[in-house]
Structure 1
Amino acid sequence: MRARTLLVIWLGVLAPLGMTSTAAARTSDAYTYSFDQTWRAAVRLIAVDFRFPINDRDEDIGYILFQYQEGGRAHHGSLELVRSQDDNGTPVVRVVMQVNAMPSYVERHLLDRLRRKLTDEYGTPPPSRRPEPAPPAAPDEDEGEDEDAPTE
């Protein structure tokens, strides 16, 4: 009886520690490469490098549906490409990766491999624009005049 109680307690304590977060939330990154470069690299990464079957894809809309394969099991995966701008107005491509029923580190790994593939094939990414400095403040026209001085 005591052994069973200890087992239940240990399972209650250790079970939550062994749980990994699943991909309920998607993982994303932004790239300053062009949409076409990012699209081509993403398709080659999924279909050629990893040899995952692609179920559907549409370049105009910017999505790829594929089967993530691991250990003889297949999991539905999706990759979305969204044209956007960063805070400085630089055009970027936001890539959103989701692999159902897998921990988020799987999505992070795929995005890291995409970044490495883009760098290997297209070189260093174009730099993000720096924000333009604010124009100097115009001198105040009333400067130098004494407010208490009589006006004519």
Structure 2
Amino acid sequence: MRTRGATRTATVVLVLEAIGTVALAAWQVVALTSGDTESVVSAVALIVLTIVGAAALAAFAAATWRELSWGRSGGIVAQLLILAIALGATTGAYAHPLIGAALAVPGVVGLAALILAVRRAARTRADEEDARDADRR
């Protein structure tokens, strides 16, 4: 299986986001163990959800690399969620534009790469269907 540039870029972005999410979970564990949380139950639930998110990003990366449509679809949803978080980081009560930008840049790059990968997959599928139709005639 030969991957193209957009697919490779999308996969790399998703892998890096998964690694970043694992690092965030580790940071949350450190905060929990150092007593820097008000609610242990909420902190544990947040850690579990963060790990689930990291696993989903890793699964989307693997599926995107294998050129499976569900990986690209899930990756697009993840990028849109990341962009929503970036917007919140720049406009919330504790707004910090640099953090928002740091989140938005990989989100935009990943979204663009995934959309290009989807378009290429659609063209490839159409070409394969045309070839099959020609063989049947």
TM-score (norm 1): 0.29
TM-score (norm 2): 0.31
